[in-house]
């Protein structure tokens, strides 16, 4: 038997076609450090909302199908892989751990996230990383408009293109784009890519398993810091 087959055999399996979402999430919330050593497989999510939300244990969870709103929201410690598409707010308010979407994600992916790593192997819709507060987000494809709006800390890495309004009202989050940025938001500008930035970006690309990605091909965007405090000369940008 292969290692993957052995792991699948040993996993706790929960079928959402037979059990309720409330029961699933309660069982995940009740995990202890000992019981969290056993991985989980969630079958037939069928676009259900808030799947594996609020998990606070170092457990590996595989969700085998598409999910709806707020999957893996408030995640702490867990490693969650979604084998499908994700609806609005995947990994919203994430604190730590790893969430990987093997398809594309809808709006507000990683919104208000405080930590951990969110990887989206397809595209992300608008407002990806809105108000991010320390989370790192790596998108293998492109992102929609107003991504990283009011980004406060962390990094958004876009391996494709970024739509209009990128980094609007940006604080201290950093944005890296390999493709074309179609329009920068207020107070966002292209900034030099220094050695420390290349090193950090390279680590994120490696952790996110982006095929063929090299930090040297990306551009870096950050805040001009003109909008930190109100000034009448910048009133038209608020």
Q: For residues 165, 167, 171 and 176, what is the CA-based torsion angle, rounded to 10 degrees?
A: -170
Judged on CB neighbours under 10 Å (0-12, 13-18, 19+), 95 is middle
What is the predicted pLDDT for the residue at 226? 81
**Residue 212's pLDDT is what?**
87
Domains observed in the chain: 3-227 (2.160.20.60)
- Confidence (pLDDT) at 56: 97
pLDDT at 1: 32
For residue 152, what pLDDT is reported? Answer: 97
For the stretch 27-56, pLDDT in tens is: 999 999 999 999 999 999 999 999 999 999
Q: What pLDDT score does 116 carry?
A: 98
Kind of pairing, strands 79-82 and 60-64?
parallel
148: exposed, middle or buried (Cβ count in 10 Å: 0-12, 13-18, 19+): buried
- What per-residue confidence (pLDDT) applies to 4? 43
pLDDT value at position 3?
42
Report the pLDDT value the prediction gives residue 126, as an integer from 0 to 100. Answer: 98
- pLDDT for the residue 227: 72
d(CA 90, CA 72): 6
Q: Which residues of the chain have pLDDT under 50?
A: 1-7
């Amino acid at each position: 038997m292969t290692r993957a087959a052995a792991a699948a055999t040993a996993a706790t399996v929960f079928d959402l076609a037979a059990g309720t979402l409330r029961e699933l999430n309660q069982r995940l919330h009740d995990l202890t450090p000992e019981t969290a050593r056993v991985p989980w497989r969630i079958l037939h999510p069928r676009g259900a909302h808030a799947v594996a939300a609020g998990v606070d244990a170092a457990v590996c969870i595989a969700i085998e199908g598409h999910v709806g709103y707020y999957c893996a929201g408030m995640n702490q410690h867990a490693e969650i892989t979604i084998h499908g598409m994700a609806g609005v707010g995947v990994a919203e308010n994430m604190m730590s751990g790893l969430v990987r979407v093997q398809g594309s994600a809808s709006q507000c992916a990683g919104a208000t996230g405080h930590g951990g790593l969110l990887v989206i192997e397809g595209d992300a819709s608008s407002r990806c990383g809105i108000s991010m507060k320390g989370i790192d987000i790596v998108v293998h494809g492109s992102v929609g408009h107003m991504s990283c709006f009011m980004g406060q800390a962390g990094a958004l890495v876009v391996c494709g293109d970024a739509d209009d309004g990128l980094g609007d009202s940006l604080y201290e989050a950093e944005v890296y784009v390999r493709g074309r940025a179609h329009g920068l938001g207020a107070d966002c500008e292209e900034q030099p890519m220094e050695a420390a930035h290349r090193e950090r970006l390279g680590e994120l690309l490696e952790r996110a398993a982006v095929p063929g990605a090299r930090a040297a091909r990306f551009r870096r965007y950050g805040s001009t810091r003109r909008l930190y405090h109100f000034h009448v000369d910048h009133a038209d940008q608020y």
